[in-house]
Chain A
Amino acid sequence: MADTAERAASGAEIQLESVTKRYSGTREPAVSDVTMTIPAGKIVILVGPSGCGKTTTMRMINRLIEPTSGTITIGGEDALSLNADDLRRRIGYAIQQAGLFPHFTVAQNIAVVPGLLGWDCRRIDDRVDEMMELVGLDPAEFRRRYPRQLSGGQQQRVGVARALAADPPVLLMDEPFGAVDPITRGHLQDELLRLQAELRKTIVFVTHDFDEAVKLGDKIAVLGDRSAILQYDTPEAILANPADDTVAGFVGAGASLKQLTLLRVRDVDYRDNAITAGSEESPAALRKRMTDEGRTYALVLDARRRPERWVHVRDLSSATSLAGVGRPVGDSVSTQSTLQDALEAILVEGGNAVVTGGRGEYLGTIDIRTVTDTIQQLRDEHDGGSAAP
């Protein structure tokens, strides 16, 4: 048992090779000849319109649906030659509306797979507590509750805890956050990313929500009819350069805006050439520096170099001290912020947003040009690389 736990500590690679599912009595296969490699420790999103076979493709990995032909290997092991029940005990499974057993308590639900694997009671008990802590549910409060006594978001957390309980290397998630409100969904997505940073599982995640795919995926597979892979690439690449019109249609309007959520301010070339001044500097000296360089605005910093206010060169002629002149800096962005946040700040500030470091100190400014240049640059990059998806 110790050795399975160790082996399971992080993800395993999944390979699908010419996987096809054909239901008897139908002319077209439901899934036709899918070949893809899902890298170990990554989140891969299968995204596509309803009925495209994405769920079928996922369910063939744990053989809830048996493939008609093709091979599937998980961590190098042939999944189709194993006992299906044993296989499923080694693959976490989370579904829409959590699929919790309504007559089991939260603890019993989480304990299902460890129980099936024959862990002893002590170990299961400890594991249940650990899992509940992991997904942010207080064991003392929730252990004995029934699913009906939980909110939708809490049920999903229990669903994820149950999927992770036996520490499987692979996690299959079928629209797990589809049935909760947008705010809770956002929280659950953030939490999944936090868990994944820690656990490094191989996660196959099915959704029809492209924004969710962009947010969560290390890679996204956009699927068309019969699960044909239209494009399989990083979210950045798909947004910058959709493979064809179908993918572009699915990415939807506002691809560039979505792209902004993927980029951080630290990744772009923001400028650090604004004229700055300490509040002790005399207005006249600053005014001279500004006219020498032909600038109309300067940024006044406080003693700890944090941005305080913008001053216009006109303000300086009548001022006796830099304290209190000009307009306070409103929105600023940190290097951690997304470009979307930066754009928002740029719009609010009217042209320039101040970029600050970890302690709030001035690092530079970012303007609309920086944003548009970045997007353009990404397009060009992915255009060149589109031959090798």
Chain B
Amino acid sequence: MPVSLFLALHFLREYRAQTGLTIGAVAVGVAVMVFLSALIDGLQTSLIDRTLGTQAHVVVSPNEESARPLVVDDDHQLRHIERPAQRVRPIAEWQRIDAWIRADSDVVATSPAAMGDAFATQGSANRPVVILGVDPARFDRVIPVGQRMTRGSYRLEGAEALIGIELAADLGVDVGDKLRLATPEGSDALLTIRGVFDLGNQQVNKRWVLVPLRTGQALLGLPGGANTLHVKVREIFAADRVAERIASETGLSAESWMTANQQLLIGLRSQSSSSYTIQFFVFLAVAIGIASVLVVTVVQRTREIGILRAMGTPRHRIAMVFVIQGGLVGFLGSLLGAGLGAGLSFVFARLSQNPDGTAMFPITLTFELVLAASALASLTGVLAAALPARQASRLDPVEAIRHV
């Protein structure tokens, strides 16, 4: 065993109370870090999950029609160009584009849709809705609705529809009832409600009506066409990149969830940075704590350092004794703190539950997080020991031996 490690262990053991208190201080710091990280990671993951539960990672659609001035010459200066009404227009050659997008290694699944506005009527009740004409199996791979059915089943054939739970309540309809859809263009259809879903988002639950792709195409006047491609990507934060690629290659409009939810992302980012700031100051306090205890230890050990130096122990080995002490205190404190933080996280997750028994604050406690916290605390211990170690190694042996 290296002598420096041997001495460090015995020195730590000799003043047990002092060592224990320092390890305790480190543990509290690490516990705060683990708890805060687990809480914020969990919160952010669940927020993103909830957001992405009702929208595709990337939505591809035709470009908006721009107004083209018909007359441009020197005599006629155009003051105002009216934006044309946005019609439901298909994506040209959507099958080819869909196949091309699906071949992208960053893409997991795609789902073509005929999408457009309509009114749903039932008796005298009348609600604006969004028609989503989709292939249910493919759509489910992009936005999982199948597992969110509250009533009925996730199946669509012919003149059938799936509607949100709020729309069902608004119109007073349920599985098996009929529902009339009418588009502004004047086409309409009578559909049987096959199921009711709850995606946890009021707007979606109020507005979405899922119908078979063919039915949607017929209603929206897009025979054989699709005006939207929903895309699921492998890595959610790569959605921006994928969308950009699709837009530049196809000339279509491709919007990623990150663009659509910029406010959310900014919020998450500032939440993360405030958490990092707190953690930084916690670690600074831990480092100062370790350093100040070690400075006192060096004074306590002055005579022993003197005798070790007289015996011929080189300076660097004296320094190493204190560096190891700092590292050990940091490491042991981090183990204790990781346990403490994990325990705190679970207790907290338990105490704050939604009525349905799920955690209000979902906690994400990963092995990587514990490992990172331990490594950071050990490193903090080593760095905090640098100053005291230097001080110890520079002691004049003659004076150190005479130190009382």
Is the A/B pair a real complex?
no
Interfacial residues, chain A to chain B (CB-CB below 8 A): none
B interface residues, Cβ below 8 angstroms from A = none
